Structure 1
């Protein structure tokens, strides 16, 4: 009788293990690549939501803090960097992008989540949107409050990002940004507040969708080409061309512009006032810079709207490029990548209207 009970117990245990194994195989395989930021930050107390130290918590600790992710995906982590995102560089981007492409080429990786500081999250996301060569989901996630805060938003943001990265609905949507229960386009989203959890917004064009009840709901998609549809290949690129941003303001002069050019800038993003207006003290220097071979892209500091070609300047005559709806910081990214392909302004303008 005891032997029979033992056999039944062993059979039941084996069946349970098989069931767990089958369930695990059904779950998507999601890699979490950690780069630091507030989501990995710690504060002096549970009420510290500003003045904390970013990038102190490792990737495995981040994952372990959200045990619920084990129910929605087979999650593994890798620490790529451990920095505050204001210190993100072109070199970091190239390293990260190459690692993402390597991982997505593996059949046992279904999607990738990248934890990132919020200060430059939108820039990293757009860079990856242009150079990742896979339709598999890539989701950038961060937090506006450190992991030690009473109301830390990192855990739920990470949980939602893992679900999104493992979902069939996110396939082919480009690189996504997920915070505050919202799904945003990496091309269009911006950080709009210094400290509140709802900082990431796309004011005029709107969110792509929402995370609710452990499921993504998409309501629109970007019409701009991305990921596998782009012409950019960074597999053999070791460094990106230097492109700098000159910010427009009242009483503006050309000191910063000339300094960037003297320092070797191959391209300048002019973040002008209004519709990319050119101040009288700066316009001659921009014209001279273009004649000497520096690419000039007119953008706007406003934050929304289409930059009109031949609007505030005769772009055709001056051989300038306009940024379309891209923010200055994202225009810089596209121009850097464009310059790895060509210096023809007509071709580069095509890229700005395409991506």
Structure 2
């Protein structure tokens, strides 16, 4: 082969390879990752430290660089929304996140989004997004129970599964989801059930939506929506009404209830015992607050079960206190009609 022909052959091969790479890249769905910090971005000087690490130490690019396999399942981009422990997530971050996701999912290039998040309040953000993102495209919450510096850290594999789920056509129409420990759960129902163990996220009554098998999502059911799940438009909102949670117990001090009202609460959730039970000394305060236009939702501190309708206050249904707080705050952005507020729960 002459030198000229050799150069031509190499050029053709290079162009073919480049075209093949571009074609393969174009075949992958677009997935946007929104990073907020948490254990998945945490670090410690000790590789065996799984409790005293610093959350939110790593940025979104470091998370992406740690999992090169992401490129095999999606065209991934990332944005740093926050970088903190999830106990610091506030309404400003929630609103910013929801608005960004709604805008991103409205584009044809994006098939789904992933939110990396600390596990302590991950369920609250997931629930908020489930109620405020207006799209059938996948919204996937993911975190980790071990920091990135730990031996056998779970974050990288959780992240790969989350992106894989967000890129999967079978994930559409299922609402916001939570992925950890190979399990796929509905963000509407899933909650953190253990302080430190890996298999912490569960929906004990409702079960999982599916699981990962050899890196692929396997769904147990066709897409479905939680009964009477509402949708809220937060596009024009700059803040949310203040709602406090009060924990019920033996000898519960009614002054705690009054203090919440005096501090500007527009609604109150009580984590009651059993079926939303509260002491007799608190019931008159609840009744008066309702009469004054301050809704009081009675949930349960048990972690499971449906709280029935109440004469004093509003039963939370299947929602735990932290999720009832989110729903009540969103409901108050649309109405102060007590019957309508009650209708969101009972």
CA distance in 2, matches of 1:45, 1:271: 37
The alignment partner of 2:31 has SS state of strand
Deviations 1:120-149 (A, max 9, x none): 000000000000011111101000000000
Instruction: State the Cα distance separating 1:194 from its structure 2 match.
Output: 1.1
Task: Tell me, yes or no, if structure 1 residue 348 matches structure 2 residue 330.
Answer: no
Q: What are the equivalent positions in structure 2 for 1:54-203 lying under 5 Å apart?
A: 54-203=55-204
CA contact (8 A) 2:254 2:282 kept: yes
Instruction: State the Cα distance separating 1:223 from its structure 2 match.
Output: 3.4
Task: Tell me, yes or no, if structure 1 residue 263 matches structure 2 residue 256.
Answer: no
Deviations 1:81-131 (A, max 9, x none): 011100111111111111111111122111110000001000000000000
CA contact (8 A) 1:137 1:165 kept: yes
CA distance in 2, matches of 1:322, 1:98: 30
Q: What root-mean-square deviation, in Å, do the aligned CA atoms of Structure 1 and Structure 2 show?
A: 1.4
CA distance in 2, matches of 1:285, 1:146: 44
Instruction: State the Cα distance separating 1:225 from its structure 2 match.
Output: 5.8
Give the TM-score taking structure 1 as reference length.
Answer: 0.94
CA contact (8 A) 1:245 1:271 kept: yes
Unmatched tracts of structure 1, length 5 or more: none
Deviations 1:301-332 (A, max 9, x none): 1111111114xxxx2xx4x3211100000000
Aligned counterpart, 2:329: 336
Task: Tell me, yes or no, if structure 1 residue 44 matches structure 2 residue 37.
Answer: no
Give the TM-score taking structure 2 as reference length.
Answer: 0.96
Deviations 1:36-74 (A, max 9, x none): 000000011111111000001000010000001011111
Aligned counterpart, 1:32: 33
Unmatched tracts of structure 2, length 5 or more: none
CA distance in 2, matches of 1:154, 1:272: 35
CA distance in 1, matches of 2:70, 2:146: 20
CA contact (8 A) 2:81 2:93 kept: no
The alignment partner of 1:68 has SS state of helix
CA contact (8 A) 1:321 1:345 kept: no
CA contact (8 A) 1:185 1:222 kept: no
CA distance in 2, matches of 1:250, 1:51: 33
